[in-house]
Structure 1
Amino acid sequence: MSAHASTPARVTIPTLAQKKAAGEPIAMVTAYDYPGAQIAEAAGADVVLVGDSGAMTVLGYDSTVPVTVDEMLMLTRAVRRGLSNPMLVGDLPFGSYEASDGDAVRTAQRFVKEAGCDAVKIERGGATVARARAIVDAGIPVMGHVGLTPQSVNALGGYRSQGRTAEAALHVARDAAALQEAGCFALVFEAIPSEATAAIVPGLEIPVIGIGAGPAADGQVLVFHDLLGIYGGHAARFVKRYADLRTAMVEGVAAYVDDVRSGGYPAAEHSYAMEPGEAERLRDLLAE
């Protein structure tokens, strides 16, 4: 692990604000289970997001839309048990907060009370701004998310970069400003052209975490299974592979399967033995 990859104290909202002010990049990563959380902790991540991307990477759905609140809470509780220092943010799934402020607050409260989240994340501007304000007013920190919002993939016409024209980028900027005004402590910019991010971020007071939004963001986030090469599905343009664990995992399990079928496993060193004479006594007892 790099000497710089350490998080000496618990990360809080003021910590992130200080990092933005100091020009110190924020490192956020997704995680969906206890071992993933432990890895993010050991690697020194600042923020761990239990993203609804877990619907695809660990639960096998075709998109993020079908995942339920209970499924997300299960994943988030597991991550909480593996974290000490990084801030924990839970993604509110599609259909759990859009209908009313009351729904939004109740769902956010469950993520704090039942899963131990430090904050929650919701997608889009527009009507979502009111939901963000309601959750913040209820005392729960909110991270916003603009640009490509996977929960709205059908309305957006697919997983496409957003803000590619000046007018479209202005819409992103207005959503971002509205979410900031609603009280969000940070924003995720997803699949937004680098030039748009560079133009918008200086006008915002809160940290912006980019995913496919270029280097001008205040920090970056990638999906755990994407950056480690575990997920076998389509990888977005912005994904950088830092390892190829899926190949290593398949090779390891295949070697085990071959060993079992050839009789090479288990060997004597993988087995337990009875005390001297006990096996013979057992045979005698079974024969009676």
Structure 2
Amino acid sequence: MSSHAQPTSNPNSRKPATLHSLRAMHARGEKVTMLTAYDATFARLADEAGLDTLLVGDSLGMLLQGYNSTIPVSLDEMVYHTRCVARGLQGGSAWLVSDLPFGSYQQSPAQAMASAAALMQAGAQMVKLEGGGWTAEMVRFLVDRGVPVCAHLGLTPQSVHALGGYRVQGRDADSAAVLRRHARELADAGAAMMVLELMPSSVAADVQADNPGLVTIGIGAGPDTAGQVLVLHDMLGVTRGKLPRFVRNFMAEGGSIEDALRRYVAAVKDGSFPDPVAHAYAAS
């Protein structure tokens, strides 16, 4: 069975996002919106709804492939889905970030560069890697070679087994201090964006305050980051099982996928999402 619908031109009149424009957005206090995307159709819908950035997440391993973690996802699979999303964004405006999957950058800076090159040749404009400490060397190596990098701290799904499961990070003073130190090291190494996942709102706020030029993107990290990201399937209410408390079902509030996407953008922009209590975590 095939679809014979012809692609329509993107009515989006926004200028294409750039790293400079995203930084300028943050500098003037406008929240940056991000959502995951894995295919051309949803990429186009999200772009038309006004998303500033899209993330081809290795979460596709759980959502599309049926695994119980992101670890089995390969670089070839990330390249494939990055190509799909990039095609959906042709003529559009959203900035495209793609995850470096587990095992594609841990070995050496040269390996990280080769993996990043594959994703950028597939259409990514920025690559994302997880963790702090040793990753600063990788970030510096990539940035020095013209690769924009988004870091990722807090709950880092590729390290779920080492972290003991999907649990809030940085709740005590010592672990919060480590997160803040790692964030500073990554920012100093040249990371331009940073996803802060599943951490107390106060810790995420401290990371942003410590690094005012860094575009922080929160997910379960409270309202004081520069922007927010959710997994597409979660915010549309189609993910099975119990969802984290930081998720809001925007599909339940609207009559269509397009409307849900627009509601998400509007809620992040006006600050009504995330709620500082219902969608956030406190330090212990």
With the length of structure 1 as denominator, give the TM-score of the two structures.
0.81
SS class of match (1:90): strand
1:36 is aligned to: 42
Larger RCO: 1 or 2 (CA < 8 Å, sep 6+): 2
1:230 is aligned to: 238
Q: Is the 8 A contact 1:7 1:45 kept in 2?
A: no
Among the aligned pairs, what percent are the same residue? 46
SS class of match (1:236): coil
Among 60, 71, 82, the alignment partner of 2:66 is 60
Deviation sequence 1:176-200 (CA, Å, 0-9, x none): 1111011111111000101111222
Q: Is the 8 A contact 2:180 2:206 kept in 1?
A: no
Moved more, 41-50 or 233-242: 233-242
- 2:237 is matched by which residue type in structure 1? G
Question: Which structure 2 residues correspond to residues 1-288 of structure 1 after superposition, within 5 A?
Answer: 8-83=14-89, 84-113=92-121, 115-204=122-211, 205-244=213-252
SS class of match (2:114): helix
Pairwise CA distance, 1:244: 4.9
Unaligned runs of 5+ residues in structure 1 are: 1-5, 250-288
SS class of match (2:146): coil
2:193 and 2:149 mapped to 1: Cα distance?
7
CA 1:234–1:55 in structure 2 vs 1: closer, same or farther (change >3 Å)? farther
Normalized per residue, the structure richer in helix is 1
Q: Is the 8 A contact 1:67 1:93 kept in 2?
A: yes
SS class of match (2:180): helix
2:241 and 2:190 mapped to 1: Cα distance?
35
Q: Is the 8 A contact 1:142 1:184 kept in 2?
A: yes
- 1:54 is matched by which residue type in structure 2? L
Pairwise CA distance, 1:7: 6.7
- State which structure, 1 or 2, has the greater radius of gyration over its C-alpha atoms: 1
SS class of match (1:108): helix
With the length of structure 2 as denominator, give the TM-score of the two structures.
0.82
SS class of match (1:16): helix
- 2:84 is matched by which residue type in structure 1? A
Unaligned runs of 5+ residues in structure 2 are: 1-11, 258-284
